[in-house]
Chains A and B, each alone.
Chain A
Amino acid sequence: MKFARYAPWTKVGSYVWLILLAVVVIAPLAWLTMSVFKDSNAIVTTPFSLPTSFSWQNVVDAWNVGSFAILFKNSILITVVSVFGILVLEGLAAYAFSRLNFPGRNIWFVIFLAGQFVPAQIIALPSFLQINALGLGDTQLALILQYLSWAPFAVLFLRASMMSVPREIEEAAMIDGAGRLRILFQVILPMCRSAFATVGTIYSLWIYNDFLFPLIYVRSPENATVPLGLSQFQGLFTTFWGYLVGAIFIAVWPPLIVYGLLSRQISSRFIAGGVKA
């Protein structure tokens, strides 16, 4: 859809704004990528010049100092398990809320939705005390349990998409003698594939990038995630810029590369999630 004539900005002015913001986004990343190949001294003294020699030393050092192999393993494991669990748990719940008539359904639905208004920042402290009481302090399991409880958005979104599956299709399957679960897996799931993909994409980013819960739940380095491990590089800020730039480089590029490959799907799923939530 276009209404070019209606846009109250001139073409040149438009580009000035667009390019200005694009530079604000790209410049730090470009600087990071240039600096990673320089030594600590050159990063400081010649910030805007291209590196004179290409050395991966900063990245290698940061990878070893920060134990990034462990951090990535933890982050990916926690994210995959949690997102898969979310899709199963909330898929089942969303099906019950969209298709089954059971006493108390509306009350339970409201209870699930109410969580939309409860920010994680408030949950973190009391849930930390709970986790400790359960003897799960400083474990990756504690993080997974917390992420599996992030139900509201997934339930709301999956339910909405299941509601849009025509009932006739389901009834036809029912007459053919299909049970509830078979209908869910063979009729509803294939038709709501894009909704599940949306929830999976959004939750993957939320969980992979979450900083608050690892910060509060996890103490030992072998259980840390990428954002938490990265934040512990901060003590080096005054001295070892090379390590630091290497560590940020390691954390920034993998998600950006994934985004570069799947940008259209990722952004369209975020719009779907943002608009309907």
Chain B
Amino acid sequence: MTAFSITGSVGGRDRVLRRSRRRRLLDGLAGYGLIAPAGVFYLGFQVLPILFAFVLSFFDWNGINLATARFVGFANYVELFGDDSFWRSVVHNLLAVVLILVIQCLGSFMLAGIINAGIRGGRFFQLVFFAPMVVSTVAMGMLAIFIFSPSQGLLNSLLRDMGLGALAQPWLGSSTWALPAVVITAILQNFGLSVLMFISGLGQVDPAMLEAAEIDGASQATILWRIVFPVIRPVASVVFLLGIVSGFRLFDQVYVMTSGGPYHSSDTIVTYLYSIAFAGNRVGYGNAIGVVLFLILLVVALVQLRLTRGGRAND
């Protein structure tokens, strides 16, 4: 510690060593003392539950009386593997991820590019796009029910007024359209944050580089790929990761807007987990679903980490 080399010249080497050893011990105690309060809550309500989820996934239990819990080994996972309702939910989540990547991630990049180009009113649009982020998912979901409502809903009224009545759908009551409608609602909520993040990333592109590239006659595509993309890569990877994760975690909007219906056509992994655990009273099986979701998200995070690391190695 440099501070003590200064006092060392005054007090002699031995005293400094003794003091620094005491300091190190104090630092050790202080270190644990300072992380302990946060650690108690974190271990108690994050780490313990996840371990608990792993353990319970090997049991058959109704969640009420611990005496009725029965160890079943991998039976829950075996059942899950052959559970069509579970796989249907996984497919719905994958569909949500695709919609989010295309509409939210690519769309927000496009709009960020437009705003970043210095268009008039850019700040106003940023302000508007971000607004849904501060509103609760429940309120947005309930507002969306009015929009998608079949007979008096805003969307259908608008379509009919424009003479496009043939396109009107019972959106949330249709097994084809319920899931996309829910996902669009979720996207609208997060879109503004993606736009803002891309704008902050684009702000780091060096204008001199762009000018030089243009003088050299580089095409738009080359500039985008060679100059803009490397700079915004870290931001883009965060936007894509958050998008993918939000697709797999989709719950609030589904619960509020469709409860997974009609006929499970908008069920997601998390809504399925909770119908199993709370309506079906199958806590062990529910936790097995949770563990699988955890593993899926872990793989996503590791792939993302790998991709961003790879990018840095190439620079």
Per-residue A-contact encoding for B278-299, CB less than 8 Å = 1, 0 else: 1000010011001101100110
Option from B139, B197, B210 in Cβ contact (under 8 Å) with A248: B139
A248 to B161, CA, bound (A): 26
Option from A93, A123, A146, A171 in Cβ contact (under 8 Å) with B35: A93
A47 to B152, CA, bound (A): 8
Chain A residues within an 8 Å CB radius of B203: 1
A27 and B154 within 8 A (CB): yes
> Which residue of chain B lies nearest to A116 when distances are taken between CB atoms in the complex?
B301
Q: What is the distance, in angstroms, from B298's C-beta to the closest C-beta of chain A?
A: 6
B116 at the interface (CB under 8 A from A): yes
Chain A residues within an 8 Å CB radius of B126: 267
B63 at the interface (CB under 8 A from A): yes
A32 and B294 within 8 A (CB): no
B294 and A129 within 8 A (CB): no
A190 at the interface (CB under 8 A from B): no
B147 at the interface (CB under 8 A from A): yes
User: Which residues B104-120 have CB closer than 8 A to chain A?
Assistant: 110-111, 113-119
> Which residue of chain B lies nearest to A145 when distances are taken between CB atoms in the complex?
B45
A5 to B130, CA, bound (A): 26
B196 at the interface (CB under 8 A from A): yes
Q: What is the distance, in angstroms, from A275's C-beta to the closest C-beta of chain B?
A: 6
> Which residue of chain B lies nearest to A93 when distances are taken between CB atoms in the complex?
B38
Q: Given the known A-B contacts A21-B111, A129-B63, are A3 and B145 also in contact in the complex, defined by CB atoms under 8 Å?
A: no
A165 at the interface (CB under 8 A from B): no
Q: What is the distance, in angstroms, from B216's C-beta to the closest C-beta of chain A?
A: 13
Q: Decide if the interface of chain B is mainly helix, strand, loop or mixed.
A: helix
User: How many residues on chain B are close to A (CB under 8 Å)?
Assistant: 107
Among A96, A122, A145, A237, the most chain B Cβ lie within 10 Å of the Cβ of A122
Q: What is the distance, in angstroms, from A99's C-beta to the closest C-beta of chain B?
A: 9
User: Which residues A19-51 have CB closer than 8 A to chain B?
Assistant: 21-22, 24-29, 31-32, 44, 47-48
Chain A residues within an 8 Å CB radius of B139: 227, 230, 248, 251-252
A259 and B42 within 8 A (CB): no
A74 to B298, CA, bound (A): 34
> Which residue of chain B lies nearest to A175 when distances are taken between CB atoms in the complex?
B3
Chain A residues touching B, range: 35 or more
A267 to B197, CA, bound (A): 10
Q: Given the known A-B contacts A101-B27, A151-B42, are A92 and B35 also in contact in the complex, defined by CB atoms under 8 Å?
A: yes
A15 to B115, CA, bound (A): 10
A121 to B292, CA, bound (A): 12
B119 and A108 within 8 A (CB): no
Chain B residues within an 8 Å CB radius of A18: 111, 114-115, 119, 121, 125
Among A89, A116, A150, the most chain B Cβ lie within 10 Å of the Cβ of A89
B16 at the interface (CB under 8 A from A): no
Among A4, A6, A105, A277, the most chain B Cβ lie within 10 Å of the Cβ of A6
Q: Given the known A-B contacts A90-B38, A125-B53, A125-B290, are A1 and B131 also in contact in the complex, defined by CB atoms under 8 Å?
A: no
Chain A residues within an 8 Å CB radius of B235: 275
B238 and A277 within 8 A (CB): yes
Option from B116, B242, B277 in Cβ contact (under 8 Å) with A125: B277
Chain A residues within an 8 Å CB radius of B152: 44, 47
User: Which residues B2-35 have CB closer than 8 A to chain A?
Assistant: 2-3, 6-7, 24, 27-32, 34-35
B193 and A270 within 8 A (CB): yes
Chain B residues within an 8 Å CB radius of A259: 130-131, 134
Among B3, B117, B154, the most chain A Cβ lie within 10 Å of the Cβ of B117
Q: Given the known A-B contacts A119-B293, A248-B139, are A171 and B41 also in contact in the complex, defined by CB atoms under 8 Å?
A: no
B207 at the interface (CB under 8 A from A): yes
> Which residue of chain A lies nearest to B138 when distances are taken between CB atoms in the complex?
A227
Per-residue B-contact encoding for A210-235, CB less than 8 Å = 1, 0 else: 01100110000000001110110110
Q: Which stretch in B70-78, B82-90, B163-171, B248-256 binds the other chain?
A: B248-256
Among A90, A126, A233, the most chain B Cβ lie within 10 Å of the Cβ of A126
A31 and B138 within 8 A (CB): no
A256 and B134 within 8 A (CB): yes
A122 to B32, CA, bound (A): 28
Q: What is the distance, in angstroms, from B67's C-beta to the closest C-beta of chain A?
A: 13
> Which residue of chain A lies nearest to B206 when distances are taken between CB atoms in the complex?
A1
A67 at the interface (CB under 8 A from B): no
Per-residue B-contact encoding for A47-81, CB less than 8 Å = 1, 0 else: 11000000000000000000000000000000000
A122 and B293 within 8 A (CB): yes
A119 to B3, CA, bound (A): 43
Further pairs besides A108-B35, A126-B53, A231-B255: 15, Cβ < 8 Å: A1-B116, A28-B154, A96-B32, A100-B31, A101-B27, A122-B50, A122-B290, A123-B49, A129-B52, A171-B2, A234-B142, A252-B135, A255-B134, A258-B134, A266-B130
Identify the A interface with B (CB < 8 A). Answer: 1-9, 11, 14-15, 17-18, 21-22, 24-29, 31-32, 44, 47-48, 88-90, 92-93, 95-97, 100-103, 105, 108, 111-112, 115-123, 125-127, 129-130, 145-146, 148-151, 155, 167, 171, 174-175, 180, 205, 208-209, 211-212, 215-216, 226-228, 230-231, 233-234, 237, 244-245, 248, 251-252, 255-256, 258-259, 263, 266-267, 270-271, 274-275, 277
Closest 10 pairs between A and B when the two form their complex, measured CB to CB: A102-B31, A149-B45, A7-B117, A96-B34, A2-B118, A93-B38, A126-B49, A89-B38, A126-B52, A127-B49
